[in-house]
A and B are shown apart, each in its own frame.
Chain A
Amino acid sequence: MKSEKELYPDDTMTAQERFDAVVRLETPDRVPLSLMLYYYAPLHTGTPMSQYMTDPRAYRDVMHQVWEEIGPWDIYYNINPYSRLMYNYVMMMRELWPGIELEENAMAKIDEIQYMDTDDYDLAMKSYGLYADMIFRMRMLPRFSQEAEGKGLMKMAFTLFTHALRQCRFWRDDFKWWRKQGAVVQIGYQAEMPFDTFSQARNVINFSMDLFKQPEKIRQAADHLARNFADTAILSARLMGAPTVQCYCHRTSNSFISPQQFADLAFPSMEMIVNRIVDAGLTPILHCDGDWLRNLKTMRQLPAKKVIIQLDGLTDIFAAKQEIGDHMCIFGDVPAAKLATGTPSEVEEYCHRLIEEVGQDGGFILAGG
């Protein structure tokens, strides 16, 4: 389970010890680094994006080559889906993939379609409690996933089960390689949170209207799915052999909803999920896209020194450090635009500022935004 190897001569901690220390908000020997280079990697190796996205072994080999050529770094940011169906199941978004709907070397793109109606909050609430999240996802999949079209619930369940087993076997094998190199595997399970799933599935325009017309129903439906979301995450992360759960919160920031709506409608299910994952001894990573600054006060109710908050450059990370840096580990946030167009010295300067200010006294993981 643990990576034991030290990565650099001056290191006094392994990557795993460093990761564990920053989650506990302790000061590590140096700030750990997670490289979000899954879209850069095939460009680096000259692998067609279509092959990289559709063949998990090609993805694995590309990432291993990148590690050999530009590594080491501390944390392997693993996306690597076994199939697009698995990816659709966890992310609950319609994706266009290179070599299928897009040209060979295009980046995968999210196709924002509405696939949920107002009545479907009731459908979510009627899903059998112990398996509510799984059942809801399987009911929605044929509405948006190209891989699920025409499949009934039973056939869908069987296909997903076999893909999940293959994903598990594949990841477990691959993770051994990464640990042998001395890296920490970042993600044991990943999925879009229930509240955010509703926002994506309804689309922002309709979801905004739902927030006015039936806010309580949204909260109740998200709460109903929360327990099974957490239980699936815990079981999956354990089976995969990595004790972390990446929870995607693409639509819960103040870029989409007010701090009050967050506190009243989104936070209850988030709190249930996070508490359950923490109680199981795992670390939740809240992938918080957008501007979260005014939500952070509410998030102080989550367990201290147990959670990672991942920011994408739209939250003022320096203000976030003041607001919540004594409560949860901060992850981020070199903006994509800076990495794409900035000079090496501009990027270096920003990274130094992050390390010195956000990384001061620990509790920080340096990464892309």
Chain B
Amino acid sequence: MDAHLNEPLTVFRRAFLDFNIDVIADVTDKMLAVGISTRQFLDTCTPLMGQIGEKFEKGEYFLPQLVMAGEMFKTASTRIKSAMPDDASGDPIAEIVLGTPRGDIHDLGKDIFAVLAEASGFAVHNLGVDVPPATFIERLSETGASILGLSSLLTTTFEAIEEIIRLLEQKGMRNNIHVILGGGATEQSLVEKLGVDSQTRDAYEGLNILKALTGDQAKGAVA
């Protein structure tokens, strides 16, 4: 790391770990002023997300800390991307198509997962809520994503999830796509019953599934 970056980066790290969200925009501008690159920013952020994620996993931190970390990351990365739109951040570790299937309009867990995954180097195509099964398939085809994340707080999505799996099979895509089911209405037995590959009830555990899938490439939030 260049020496002139040390001070603003130290201030950024301290603010981030203190959850001092009010100063993040200013500190990010100072990093930009001394010439930080997108890659250097991500290499700074991901270990910080990792430290917070680790404490969440140990039960020392809870959802508010994860949310704050996600919001601070979003604030900083949006500023950096808008200041340097052409600066390469490198290829994503993997691409994920994500959404709440038809029958449910909850998006909180899904959106937290999206932010944490992006902060860890994944590209996330977030389709929103109440998404028809065919839309997931179209987006997977367009992007070539290898991971599909389905969020569900209500059992009313189960029919749509089964339809998604059927469509993946019909299109010959099933073997190339890892399907993760997440949310409060889910339990492990649904892996077999709905034909998905993994299941989780919390966003951070979802990241650990990504880590297992992508091996050592995943960094930061994926502790």
**Closest CB of chain A to B51's CB: distance in Å?**
17
Pick the contact of B105: A111, A314, A341, A342 (CB < 8 A). Answer: A111
Q: Which of A111, A208, A213, A346 has the most CB of B within 10 A?
A: A208
Which of chain B's residues have a CB closer than 8 A to the CB of A255? 63, 184, 202
CA distance A29 to B194 in the complex (A): 39
User: Is A158 among interface residues, defined by CB-CB distance under 8 A?
Assistant: no
User: Is B25 among interface residues, defined by CB-CB distance under 8 A?
Assistant: no
Pick the contact of B158: A212, A213, A341 (CB < 8 A). Answer: A341
Known: A314-B184, A335-B187, A337-B189. Contact between A208 and B64, CB under 8 A? yes
CA distance A213 to B186 in the complex (A): 33
- Assess whether A256 is in contact with B63, with CB atoms less than 8 Å apart: yes
Which of chain A's residues have a CB closer than 8 A to the CB of B177? none
User: Is A209 among interface residues, defined by CB-CB distance under 8 A?
Assistant: yes
Interface string of A170-206 (1 = CB under 8 A from B): 0000000000000000000000000000000001110
- Assess whether A109 is in contact with B105, with CB atoms less than 8 Å apart: yes
- Assess whether A258 is in contact with B64, with CB atoms less than 8 Å apart: yes
CA distance A321 to B156 in the complex (A): 30
Nearest chain B residue, comparing its CB with the CB of A291? B201
Q: Mark out the residues of chain A between 190 and 238 whose CB falls within 8 Å of any chain B CB in the assembled complex.
A: 203-205, 208-209, 211-213
CA distance A202 to B57 in the complex (A): 26
User: Is B185 among interface residues, defined by CB-CB distance under 8 A?
Assistant: yes
Known: A337-B187, A338-B189. Contact between A209 and B21, CB under 8 A? yes
Which of chain B's residues have a CB closer than 8 A to the CB of A294? 59
- Assess whether A261 is in contact with B185, with CB atoms less than 8 Å apart: no
Interface string of A242-273 (1 = CB under 8 A from B): 00000000000011111001000000000000
- Assess whether B62 is in contact with A254, with CB atoms less than 8 Å apart: yes
CA distance A109 to B100 in the complex (A): 13
Interface string of B37-79 (1 = CB under 8 A from A): 0000000000000000000000101111001100100000000
User: Is B154 among interface residues, defined by CB-CB distance under 8 A?
Assistant: yes
CA distance A242 to B106 in the complex (A): 33
User: Is B190 among interface residues, defined by CB-CB distance under 8 A?
Assistant: yes
Known: A314-B201, A337-B187. Contact between A212 and B155, CB under 8 A? no
Q: Categorize the interface residue count of chain A.
A: 20 to 34
Interface string of B104-130 (1 = CB under 8 A from A): 111110000000000000000000000
Known: A336-B185, A340-B155. Contact between A204 and B67, CB under 8 A? yes
- Assess whether B185 is in contact with A205, with CB atoms less than 8 Å apart: no
Which of chain B's residues have a CB closer than 8 A to the CB of A257? 62-64
Q: Which of B63, B71, B155 has the most CB of A within 10 A?
A: B63
- Assess whether A204 is in contact with B185, with CB atoms less than 8 Å apart: no
Known: A336-B185, A341-B189, A341-B190. Contact between A112 and B107, CB under 8 A? yes
Known: A205-B71, A212-B19, A341-B190. Contact between A336 and B201, CB under 8 A? no
Which of chain A's residues have a CB closer than 8 A to the CB of B67? 204-205, 208-209
Which of chain B's residues have a CB closer than 8 A to the CB of A96? 105
Which of chain A's residues have a CB closer than 8 A to the CB of B19? 212
Which of chain B's residues have a CB closer than 8 A to the CB of A204? 63, 67, 108
User: Is B193 among interface residues, defined by CB-CB distance under 8 A?
Assistant: yes
Which of chain A's residues have a CB closer than 8 A to the CB of B104? 109
Q: Mark out the residues of chain A between 329 and 352 whose CB falls within 8 Å of any chain B CB in the assembled complex.
A: 335-342, 346
Which of chain B's residues have a CB closer than 8 A to the CB of A261? 62, 64
Q: Mark out the residues of chain A between 77 and 125 whose CB falls within 8 Å of any chain B CB in the assembled complex.
A: 96, 107, 109-112
Which of chain A's residues have a CB closer than 8 A to the CB of B61? 258
- Assess whether B63 is in contact with A337, with CB atoms less than 8 Å apart: no
Q: Mark out the residues of chain B between 174 and 200 whose CB falls within 8 Å of any chain A CB in the assembled complex.
A: 184-187, 189-190, 193-194
Which of chain A's residues have a CB closer than 8 A to the CB of B190? 337, 341
- Assess whether A341 is in contact with B194, with CB atoms less than 8 Å apart: yes
Which of chain B's residues have a CB closer than 8 A to the CB of A111? 105
Q: Mark out the residues of chain B between 156 and 184 whose CB falls within 8 Å of any chain A CB in the assembled complex.
A: 156, 158, 184
**Closest CB of chain A to B99's CB: distance in Å?**
16
- Assess whether B187 is in contact with A107, with CB atoms less than 8 Å apart: no
CA distance A352 to B59 in the complex (A): 31
CA distance A209 to B69 in the complex (A): 10
**Closest CB of chain A to B159's CB: distance in Å?**
10
**Closest CB of chain A to B40's CB: distance in Å?**
27
CA distance A96 to B104 in the complex (A): 11
CA distance A90 to B120 in the complex (A): 41
**Closest CB of chain A to B10's CB: distance in Å?**
21
Nearest chain A residue, comparing its CB with the CB of B187? A337
CA distance A270 to B27 in the complex (A): 40
Q: Provide a sorted-by-A list of 11 A–B residue pairs whose CB atoms are within 8 angstroms.
A: A109-B154, A112-B108, A208-B71, A209-B21, A209-B67, A209-B71, A212-B19, A212-B68, A255-B202, A257-B62, A337-B185
The 9 A-B residue pairs with the shortest CB-CB distance in the complex, in nearest-first order? A208-B67, A208-B64, A340-B155, A258-B62, A341-B193, A337-B187, A336-B155, A211-B64, A109-B105
> Known pairs A255-B63, A338-B187, A341-B158. 8 more at Cβ < 8 A?
A109-B154, A208-B63, A255-B202, A337-B190, A340-B155, A341-B155, A341-B190, A346-B189
